[in-house]
Amino acid sequence: MNTYSFSPGRSLAVQLDEQDELGVYRKEFYVNPSTIYMDGNSLGLLSKRAELAVLESLQDWREHAIDGWTAGQHPWYTLSERLGALVAPLVGAEPDQVIVTGSTTVNLHQLVATFYQPEGKRTKIVADELNFPSDIYALQSQLRIHGFSPEENLIRVASRDGRFLDEEDIIAAMTDEVAMVVLPTILYRSGQILDMERLTAEAHARDILIGFDGCHSVGAIPHAFDKWDVDFAYWCNYKHLNGGPGAVGGLYVNRKYFGKLPGLAGWFGSDKMKQFDMEHQMTPAETAGAYQIGTPHVLSAAPLLGSLSIFAEVGIERIRRKSLLLTTYFMDLIAHELDGFGFTIGNPTDEKRRGGHVSLEHPEAARICKALKENKVIPDFRAPNMIRLAPVALYSSFTDVWEVVQRLKAIMAEKQYEKFENQRNVVA
């Protein structure tokens, strides 16, 4: 399914759906038949397996009470490690290098608190101007805690066009004043995939630590964090991994740092055999589990037991193949059907650089998104002018994509968007 001959009619979409080896997984999810969901890169849909896993965890609580820590279908004491082992193949790591814990920003704070060790003139952190704001807030906060000015010590690499980052510019920022680099794997607006392998090699050649925010890539594209020798990474699990709103996050730590005391120590980072000794001298786990802080949020982690079982069956390579075809088909339809309506495709067209969503730029983007919702299409708006549309391999169909473009064409031709204000809602 990597190649096809484009035609604009609905018949091609039907044919692609008939050939889709992952189409059988659509029935695993609660897909609202009255709407077309194109926002899986913000919040994935609920699967029946995830729902069952939550119910099973509730049953463990009901039947075992405090003994649920070590008894029941999903014992809580080792739940984070069990989930880490399920995520590990998706990020190219060994099971003990991954832990499901915390949230994106909490995990970033933990990792920077651990690995950011300014010395001499090496005090600066390199990030980028297109990154998600929460990452920037956390880096600014960590610099202040260390007594440094974010204005002087946080380098945000500029974009040349407002959409993409150039790796040459990032590498040029890796001077001998830099202690750490923190970058997204995929830019959340444009969907550009950064060359993580190259950037890691360039950072290490300059004795600089490097970590990645995988929120928009984990579950959408293959990774090889271990092979690339990435120092650390962190991500959320509620987007492409369908872990549910507020799902527990995840992090990866290169095994060369095992045994290092975490910057933000907490009792759940202890060696499992020592944790309940209640000693005031911490013995950290000899795995990524050391970077846990508090008691796991069991009911916010449980959905992943079900969700990740689907990924284990399907494999990230098959998911990526279908995702690329979905977005290629989407862009071909847009070029054919929406020409003349003022849209610009703001994501990479190169498959090696394109993540899991299509980014449409338009001066009236906010009100177009509102019109799409009125037409039973769920998109995502990102200021100032971007409509993100994410067909997800596990539950989106090619017919969905075809229908979205037809509805968008009608919205533009009939100027349905003009009745809405061109400003975002409180939650975009």
Judge whether 104 is annotated as a binding position: yes
Judge whether 132 is annotated as a binding position: yes
3-state secondary structure of 43: coil
Q: What sign has the CA pseudo-torsion 126, 345, 348, 32?
A: positive
> How far is residue 109's CA from residue 135's CA, in Å, rounded to a whole number?
9
Q: Which two tokens stand for residue 40?
A: 């899986």
* Cβ–Cβ < 8 Å for 302, 243: no
Question: Which residues have CB under 8 Å from 230's CB, separation 6+?
Answer: 196, 200, 210, 211, 212, 252, 254
Question: Which residues have CB under 8 Å from 104's CB, separation 6+?
Answer: 134, 135, 213, 215, 234, 235, 236, 249
Measure CA of the first residue to CA of the last residue in the chain; give whole Å. Answer: 34
> How far is residue 314's CA from residue 220's CA, in Å, rounded to a whole number?
12
Judge whether 105 is annotated as a binding position: yes
Q: Which two tokens stand for residue 423?
A: 């400003």
> How far is residue 63's CA from residue 409's CA, in Å, rounded to a whole number?
54
Q: Which amino acid is at 152?
A: E
DSSP 378: E
Indicate the angle between helix axes 365-374 and 398-413, nearest 10 degrees: 120
Judge whether 270 is annotated as a binding position: no
Judge whether 35 is annotated as a binding position: no
Question: Which residues have CB under 8 Å from 39's CB, separation 6+?
Answer: 378, 379, 380, 388, 390
Q: Which two tokens stand for residue 117?
A: 């060790």
DSSP 63-117: HHGGGGGTSSSS-STTHHHHHHHHHHHHHT--GGGEEE-S-HHHHHHHHHHHH--
Asked if omega into 384 is within 30° of 0 (cis), the reply is: yes
Judge whether 213 is annotated as a binding position: yes
Which residues define the annotated binding site for pyridoxal 5'-phosphate?
104-105, 132-135, 213, 216, 238, 267, 295
